[in-house]
């Protein structure tokens, strides 16, 4: 699709419907028997602002990175870090977001912040995989997963 647009060609609603339905079926595991996707969903792409609004979706990932860093510092930092976090919340919108996060001990411009968050996320995924295995062994989870 990107190549098509870069060549100045038009994307039709029919093409977008087809691609969206294909991706939705893959994402939700229709081929693996997880669920059946109603073909009517092919039109859903037109109601998702991420596809045609100004670029803003990066805020989801930076928000997740920030929340992982903040939660880790609160969970491991004791009472002092708890107070820093509460002060961060109380400050509201007095400071711009980058400055507010720095005051809370999170430098979203530093690669180290992302590295720590990715490590924490990897740990959470490992824990989830262990739980899935336990549930499978106990017969409490679909064998498809």
Is 144 a member of any domain? no
Tens of pLDDT, residue by residue over 40-49, are: 999 999 999 8
Q: Which of 137, 74, 75 is nearest to 105 (CA)?
A: 74
Count how many domains the chain has: 2
Residue 101 lies inside a defined structural domain of this protein: yes
Does the pLDDT of residue 94 top 80, yes or no? yes
The span from the first CA to the last CA of the chain, in angstroms, equals 31
In this structure, the answer to whether residues 114 and 78 fall within a common structural domain is yes
- Please write the tens of the pLDDT for every residue from 16-43: 999 999 999 999 999 988 899 999 999 9
Q: Quick check: 142 pLDDT over 80? A: no
Asked whether residue 32 falls in the same domain as residue 95, the answer is no
- Would you say residue 89 lies in a domain? yes
Do 74 and 103 belong together in one domain?
Answer: yes
113 pLDDT exceeds 70? yes
pLDDT at 64 over 80: yes
Query: Quick one: which of 15, 13, 17 has its CA closest to 3?
Result: 15
142 falls within a domain? no
- The 10s digit of each residue's pLDDT in 49-61 is 888 888 888 889 9
Please indicate, yes or no, whether residues 75 and 98 belong to a single structural domain of this protein: yes
Q: pTM here? A: 0.64
Task: Name the pLDDT band for 143 (thresholds 50, 70, 90).
Answer: low
Q: Is 26 helix (H, G, I), strand (E, B) or coil?
A: helix
Residues 47 and 63 in one domain: no
Structural domain includes residue 143: no
Q: What's the rounded mean pLDDT across residues 95-118?
A: 93
Residues 79 and 46 reside in one and the same domain: no
My answer on whether 67 and 112 are in the same domain is yes
Domain that holds residue 47: 2-51
Give how far the C-alpha of residue 81 lies from the chain's centroid of Cα atoms, to the nearest Å.
26
Write down the mean pLDDT value for the chain. Answer: 92
In a domain, 96, yes or no: yes
Claim to verify: residue 78 and residue 122 sit in the same structural domain? yes
Is the same domain home to 129 and 71?
yes
Would 145 be classed as within a structural domain? no
Percent of the chain with pLDDT over 70: 98
Whole-number pLDDT of residue 144: 62
8 A C-beta contact, residue 24 and residue 41: yes
Domain identity same for 34 and 75 = no
The verdict on 72 and 19 lying in the same domain is no
79 by DSSP, 3-state: which? helix
């Amino acid at each position: 699709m990107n190549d098509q647009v870069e060549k100045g060609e038009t994307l039709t609603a029919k093409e977008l419907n087809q691609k969206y339905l294909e991706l939705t079926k893959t994402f939700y595991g229709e081929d693996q028997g997880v669920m059946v996707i109603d073909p009517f969903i092919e039109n859903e792409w037109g109601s998702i602002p991420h596809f045609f609004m100004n670029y803003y979706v990066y805020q989801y990932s930076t928000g997740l990175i920030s929340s992982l860093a903040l939660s880790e510092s609160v969970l491991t930092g004791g009472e002092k870090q708890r107070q820093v976090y509460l002060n961060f919340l109380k400050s509201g919108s007095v400071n711009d977001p980058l400055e507010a996060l720095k005051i809370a001990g999170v430098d979203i411009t530093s690669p180290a912040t992302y590295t720590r968050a990715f490590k924490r996320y990897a740990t959470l995924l490992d824990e989830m995989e262990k739980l899935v295995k336990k549930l499978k062994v106990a017969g409490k989870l679909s064998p498809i997963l």
